Amino acid sequence: MLRIREVVDSHRETTLHVEGRIVSEWVGVLREECGRALQEPSRRLRLDLTGVTFIDASGVRALRSLPTDRVAIVHALDFIDALLKGDGTS
């Protein structure tokens, strides 16, 4: 299961609080929510992964595909951070 809660922090920044498992069956939902948050060209997105307990290869690919100039991934567990940096699986 994946839960995503949106918080508009300011005129230019939105935070998505993500909880659960980022796995293939939920990647589409995550992509849609990120796309919605980034519709306005000047908006930045923070993905708060505090509540994420697991991520599979498709989840890693989805997060890596986000535009790094507009998206910041914060509060990821160490093993998720390592996966996103390429210290594990692709």
CB-based contact 34:70 (threshold 8 Å): no
Q: How far apart are CA 88 and CA 13, in angstroms?
A: 31
| 76 φ, ψ (degrees, to nearest 5) | -80, 145
- Please give the CATH topology (third level) of the domain spanning 2-84: Transcription Regulator spoIIAA (3.30.750)
Mean pLDDT of 19-29: 98
Strands 13-22 and 44-55: parallel
Question: What average pLDDT does the chain have?
Answer: 94
3-class secondary structure, 17: strand
Instruction: Give the Cα separation of 29 and 41 in Å (integer).
Output: 21
When pLDDT is cut at 50, 70 and 90, the band that residue 87 belongs to is low
Q: 70: which strand partners?
A: none
Domain boundaries, given as residue ranges, for the chain = 2-84
pLDDT in tens, 3-19: 999 999 888 999 999 99
Structure tokens that stand for 15 in this block: 């935070």
